[in-house]
A and B are shown apart, each in its own frame.
Chain A
Amino acid sequence: MKALAAAALVLFGLPALAQATQEAKPLEPGREALAIPYEKYTLPNGLEVILSVDRKLPIVSVNVWYHVGAYHEQPGRTGFAHLFEHMMFQGSRNVADDVHISMLEQLGATDLNGTTSFDRTNYFETVPTHHLETALWLESDRMGFLLDALTPEKLATQKEVVKNERRQGTEAAPYGLAQEEAWHALFPLPHPYHGSVIGSMKDLDAGTVDDVKDFFRQWYAPSNATLAVVGDFDVAKTKALIEKYFGSLPSHPKPAKPQVAPVKHTKPVVIRFEERVATLPLLSVQWLTPGYFENGDATADVLATVLGTGKASRLYRRLVLEKQLAQSVTVVQQSQGAQSVFSIDVTARPGVSTDALLKEVDAVLEDVRKNGITPEEIQRARTRIDTRMLAGLQSIGGFGGKADVLQSYNHFVGEPSYVAQDLARYESVTPEVVKQFTRDTLRPDARVILHAVPAPRKQAPAESKERH
């Protein structure tokens, strides 16, 4: 579910669909529970609607994806899609300022939030069944009438809130600024992934009320949104409610998707960063990899699991258990639309240099390039991925719950229940495929290497005796 939750994609000529042409095959025995029954239709104003009934509890999730994210921002306005997301909670024509969240909380809503990634923005809440209409009313009012209630004061306050969010997550967070610098290096300008989703302080300060209005008019139309309702509800009544609240919202043709050339690195970028917050050195090695659902994405996911999930994984075993040079290892294929990022993060033990860690990481990768990985390792990774997917379907809403799963597949391939095809991608991963991927894509000369090392005075000693 990591990829589903984190990712978002712009479907330039649907690059992934070479794989999708295989017919939706029935799920294997033991996997039937992964199939999600759903109904999808489109209102005349272009709003897509996905309905999926799940009666296990008397709750229902309302989840709206707008097919716009940080990818669609203008230069000098990084962080705008996310700042705008905050404005969507600040009231609209018929919903008073600051009421949206409070009202839902008071009804007993759970899993209530909004999130922004590079390629999409979503809003969601899970409510007791008898409050479904209220949730639809709230979502439709901000989809249709946000600008009626927009004021410069509200924008000014939310800029401050977001700047605090940025301080908390970036400036004052361990490795926050260091990782941001690595990200900038991965996607040089003018690639629209260059900026952080949260944006820069300078750009946040620069955003104007007119920017908010333009952004809303361009991207926040029914034609660029998908509404999912998942849980315990009456289908006919809900369709009528959706028609009532969303049917008359004006729209315009779905906006065109920007076309961007992929980034290719031909020589390594090395960043040495003096870390001010964290107390242990971090080595982060990152590559650009194929986008979500493209050929190689599933391979990268399996390899990430083999290298870094669990104590027996290759990097953890060597660096943490055997050589005791590292404190922790995290390996992730961050699947996203235009291009994904494969990263290996290793936190050093006190006194261990990040250069020493890099040597070890390279030795492990070289072994994979030469000898591949074992069928057992691939099988374990697949079982983990299966279990993870099934577990993701337990919640109807929230981060990565059933509504998000339907939305994500819909966003990427236009097919809300794509689980069987998604899993099929993993069936085609073999030791040979992994070996080839590591050779071709995880190249030593096509990566960003970050050494985030605390300034000497900040680096606490390993032995407590030396402290006062």
Chain B
Amino acid sequence: MRRLITALVSLSLAGCASQQKPAPTEPTPAPAPSTPAAPADAEAFRATAPQPGKPPELVLPAFQKATLDNGLTVLVSTRRELPLVYAGIVFAAGSAQDPVGKPGLADLTYRMLLEGAGTRDTVALDNALGDLGTSAMQDVSPDGSRLGVRVLTRNLDGALALLSDMALRPTFAPKAFERRKKQQLADLVRRLGSPNALGQLVFLSSTFGSTHPYGHSATGTPDSVQSLTLEDVQGFYKKQVGPAAAALVLTGDISLEDAVALARKHLGGWKAPAALPPAPPAPPASTRQVVYVVPKPGLDQTVMMLGRPAIAAGNPDEFALDLATTVFGGFFGSRLNMNLREDKGYSYGAGAGIDPRLGVGPLTAATSVRADVTGPALGETMKELNGLKSRPITEKELEAAREGLIRAFPGSFETVEGLGSSASVLFMKRQPLDEYSRTVEGLRTATAAEVQRAAEKYLDPSTLQIVLVGDPLLIQEQVSPLNLGKLMPVEPDTEPGKPRATR
């Protein structure tokens, strides 16, 4: 209150702001004994960007690891500022382990862990979490699944008791299964109403092939989910979930010692035979033959996705390709975004990135553009891709990407959830604890020649599959003349395998 009033009373200045040169205001308390110079000179310092001071030491998150007798990995990162902990169990099997013909099985299985565990049914379990001030965060990805909570330190023991019930003692009640499955199906109906989800579905099958472990989305399709049974779920759980294929991740207000003690208490008795799944095989390389079109008549915007299988985590090209992709489309100031958004106003944003996984993961460029500029926008995207060869990445672009990526690291590790997520990814991709130092070193030492070579190899436009979601007539009219391949319609409810099989 007092402060508010002070603020309001302190407005003594007249002199309406206008375009005139900013005259220094009279009542400025003069900290420096400056002579009253001409206004223009006094403001001349603004013309050049400040020189940065000495850079601080780069602070990267530190991870510690222990292994229990039953094979369970314990990953810890200590951060004491606030009495908060992220506690999660990460499972090494993900949607890549969905059996052929059963996309969506991993997703449904892990979601069942929240539908009753130990002596609690769905409601009792949720109330128990609520008493601890939390809800469970759940996430199923190709290389694994995470189940976790963020709690006040004082609630950690209780949270681990619940997490261990969910991981070790899911009830898999038939009634809950039937309900959950119906919910998953309806959720698919909802998701497939989104142009982005449709694009993603077709993109995965067209780049990896429908039978490849990475060739389907984790949520599956209506057909596949419809066919899943409780026996499937129990079978997946039995085969894939166990201490040797899981890690307990604790980040925040906790030490390794305390973490190990808690792990022993809650998960030390866990016995189950599951082993770490193998890395998915590399998909075959292919050049583009067709352009996939998912028809959405009358849609105001066209979703565009371009991409290919690129590299697995640990590939020697990883850091050079990360830099090349960043220059092309990783930053707001990247070539692609500056062209499509800032120069042409075609889009709210356009970007590109790589996703190195345990196996070979995708490189993706994506945007959503005003429907009536679909052709020009795709043309500009191809022009920027070709430009990587005709206008090689400059030293300035490279250094900007390098510095930007490296210096952003500390800012990405502010929260206990963020640390927990990083630790979980290390486990899923089987990476060493010093992976972040290795990344920084790799980004620092990648040479201009390596970066240019990676750009030309992986961002070669002829190797990128193209998926468009939008008005089919408009796409026909605007995209055909670009000669990027025969336009092939893919109906939204088509199985992911179909487009590939027909070409």
Contacts and interface: CB of A to CB of B under 8 A. Distances in A.
A148 B19 CA distance: 7
A317 B122 CA distance: 9
A414 B43 contact: no
B262 interface: no
A164 interface: yes
Given A464-B222, A468-B491, A164 B345 contact: yes
Nearest to A42: B10
A206 to B, nearest CB: 17
Q: Please indicate which of the listed interface residues B24, B130, B226, B368 has the most CB atoms of chain A within 10 Å of its own CB.
A: B130
B414 A312 contact: no
A415 B3 contact: yes
A63 interface: no
Given A94-B46, A133-B50, A391-B150, A317 B185 contact: no
A276 B297 CA distance: 11
A247 B28 contact: yes
A130 B193 contact: no
A252 B195 contact: no
A46 B11 contact: yes
A172 to B, nearest CB: 5
A350 interface: yes
A44 B24 CA distance: 11
A98 B338 contact: yes
B13 A223 contact: yes
A58 B56 contact: yes
Interface in A44-102: 44-46, 48, 54, 56-59, 93-94, 98, 101-102
B100 interface: no
B7 A251 contact: no
A415 B47 contact: no
Interface string A227-247: 000001000000010011101
Contact of B4 (A134, A276, A415): A415
Contacts of A309: 130, 135
Contact of A390 (B11, B56, B152, B299): B152
Interface in B410-463: 410-417
Contacts of B19: 147-148
Given A57-B413, A467-B222, A462 B81 contact: no
A414 B4 contact: yes
Interface residues of B, number: 116
Interface stretch (A107-115, A263-271, A283-291): A107-115
Contact of B345 (A30, A48, A156): A156
Interface string B1-19: 1011111101111111111
Contact of A310 (B11, B135, B182, B407): B135
Contacts of A349: 182, 186
Interface in A87-144: 93-94, 98, 101-103, 105-111, 126, 128-131, 133-134, 137, 140-141, 144
Given A165-B348, A327-B187, A250 B25 contact: yes
A329 interface: no
B25 A248 contact: yes
Nearest to A221: B17
Interface stretch (A295-303, A334-342, A393-401, A431-439): A393-401
Nearest to A316: B126
Given A108-B406, A110-B408, A349-B186, A252 B14 contact: yes
Given A327-B183, A463-B226, A128 B17 contact: no
Contact of A111 (B179, B195, B368, B411): B411
Given A42-B6, A56-B81, A280 B50 contact: no
Given A106-B333, A110-B408, A110-B411, A250 B15 contact: yes
A33 interface: yes
B15 A279 contact: no
Interface residues of A, number: 115
Contacts of A208: none
B400 interface: yes
Interface in B100-155: 114, 122-127, 129-135, 150-152, 154
A347 interface: yes
Contacts of B55: 128, 130
A161 B348 contact: yes
Interface stretch (A188-196, A361-369, A378-386, A442-450): A378-386
Contact of B54 (A30, A98, A130, A391): A130
Interface in A407-437: 413-415
B123 A391 contact: no
Given A108-B408, A395-B415, A103 B133 contact: no
B415 to A, nearest CB: 4
A248 B370 contact: no
B1 A167 contact: no
A320 interface: yes
10 contacts: A98-B338, A106-B331, A108-B411, A111-B411, A145-B22, A247-B28, A253-B11, A310-B126, A414-B1, A464-B185
7 tightest A-B CB contacts, nearest first: A108-B407, A414-B4, A102-B333, A160-B345, A279-B193, A110-B411, A383-B133
Given A17-B1, A394-B81, 20 more contacts: A30-B154, A40-B3, A58-B59, A106-B401, A107-B52, A108-B406, A128-B56, A157-B342, A171-B300, A223-B11, A244-B45, A248-B42, A252-B16, A253-B11, A279-B189, A312-B123, A380-B127, A383-B130, A460-B193, A468-B493
